[in-house]
Homo-oligomer: A and B are copies of this chain.
Amino acid sequence: MDLTTIYAPIQDELSRLHAQLEQELVAEDPFVSELVRHVLGTRGKMIRPALVCLAAQAGGGAGEARLWLAEAVELIHIASLIHDDIIDQSEVRRGVATVNVQWGNQIAVLLGDYLFAKAFDLLSRIRHPDVAPTLAAATVKMSQAEIMQIKYGQEPHDDESVYFQIIAGKTAHLFSAACRAGGLVAGNPAAAERLGTFGLQWGMAFQITDDALDLTSREDTLGKPIYSDVQSGTITLPVIRALREATPDDRARLTSLLAGPAGDGRMEEVRGLLHRYRAIDYALDVAGRYSRQAGEALSFLPPSPAKDSLLALTEFVVVRSH
């Protein structure tokens, strides 16, 4: 099932959300508006707001607040991407120049701050007492995990638990919060807890798959440079697996390749070593396990088109083009 089909139950909501988001972000100042247009013009798959809306529908409600919530979650995500691009010195995102490349790091720092603040501005208008705390806690975890990734995730290591802790914080907890809060604004706190579990497991599957795609995709299908994790020194699950399984010689070779200067030949050799130890297949298997657990978390929900879409997303997350 493709995303258009999966998004069918929330198609109207997502259109309203697009329009509202542009309206919310119109700034008094023309330059700030220009920056915002650049960022919104390169919108991605909108998976986080879609999850908010699907979770709210699957939870049986459709409180008006879900659109503010969906917008806020997307803004938190966009803000964190803008700051990530500074950190990784990325030049291209979703096929266009990054903010740091087009306007410099100073503007990129501040634009990220502006969008974070806008997100909390939206969240602060939602009257449900647990929604803003849920998202705020996830955002705290996100920035903490990004700090940990820089501190611990960039030296070659074979400790899966460090990797899982980092990706849970930097990715999965925001998905979890989005789904949980979707259930909360729907007025279904029991469903909210299970939807939160769904989001956490789904987010793990999403990030593990994303990291694997970085090692298997072609640049033109991914819309950003491939091997960017290896280039930036970020150690992901396939690499951890290969380091754990490799002979001492291969392990030493892989470690030295990871630390070495960039170059096409180097990437091909890394790829060969990962292939030798079936390291990418291993990572995709782990992602598949998380995605099945995500599906199981939904078993208690009554049938609905939104539930079908969430279940379809558990397939979608692990079979994206690669």
Contacts and interface: CB of A to CB of B under 8 A. Distances in A.
Residues of A contacting B: mostly: helix
A31 interface: yes
Copies of chain A in the complex: 2
A124 B127 CA distance: 11
Contacts of A137: 121
A180 interface: no
A87 B116 contact: no
Given A83-B110, A109-B86, A150-B107, A121 B133 contact: yes
Contacts of A32: 144, 147-148
Contacts of A117: 116, 136, 139-140, 142-143
Contact of A106 (B121, B136, B142, B150): B150
A38 to B, nearest CB: 13
Contact of A110 (B28, B110, B147): B147
A135 B124 CA distance: 9
Given A87-B106, A109-B109, A120 B146 contact: no
Nearest to A122: B136
A147 B111 contact: yes
A110 to B, nearest CB: 5
